[in-house]
Homo-oligomer: A and B are copies of this chain.
Amino acid sequence: MSKGELTRQTILEHAYTEASRVGLGGLSIGQLAGALELSKSGLFAHFQSKEVLQLQILEYAASRFVERVIRPTLQAPRGEARLRAALENWLEWPSMEGLGGCFFVAASAELDDHPGPLRDRLAELQRDWLDMLANITRTAITEQQFRADVDPEQFAHDMYGIMLVTHQYSRLLRDPMSYDRARRSFDALMSAARRTH
């Protein structure tokens, strides 16, 4: 890794942690530069504008998500076991990143009414994640773990609802039971999909 690339990576890592605290919109180039002992122009040499930096942070968060959630999930056996791995990896990823909650849930609430490339890219990433959950569900159907009439998109929707409410219970309500509740909801969802008529 060249010195320039190393500096760029250092900026990104720091900005990612900072954005998870103050939001992508709350980032201050001046403060970032100060914290990293760079000049503002030194920082702008790597990221031509705040918008470029925000987009790169989003891509960086996506790469972290691949490493912490997507990759280990795809190593689990297909179907049901992989769905459970998706939930467990998602539950653990904020603490593995040293963050208080899922970066993307926080970014969604911040960006959902701010049209532009940042919001578009975030929506695309969310759709990819939901598509992945729906695809694993589809496999659980073809492998006859789930009933044939289970709707994979609805299953992904419901599973994402469990993730969002868990984020809310753990972050806002600081409920120590939030992960247990998530698992109970998930067990009920799985059991309903398995149930034979």
On chain A, which size bracket covers the interface? 35 or more
Chain B contacts for A173, CB-based, 8 A: 123, 126-127
Q: Tell me which of B100, B154, B164 contacts A113 (CB under 8 A).
A: B100
Each complex incorporates copies of this chain amounting to 2
Secondary structure at chain A's binding surface: helix, strand, loop or mixed? helix
Q: Are A112 and B157 in contact (CB under 8 A)?
A: no
Chain B contacts for A51, CB-based, 8 A: none
Q: A113–B111 Cα gap in the complex (Å)?
A: 17
Which residues of chain A from 133 to 181 have a CB within 8 Å of any chain B CB? 154, 157-158, 160-162, 164-165, 168-169, 171-174, 181
Residues of A within 8 A of B (CB): 21, 23, 100-101, 105-106, 108-113, 119, 122-123, 126-127, 154, 157-158, 160-162, 164-165, 168-169, 171-174, 181, 184-185, 188, 192
Selected A-B contacts with CB under 8 Å, 6 pairs? A108-B109, A109-B110, A112-B168, A158-B165, A164-B164, A164-B168
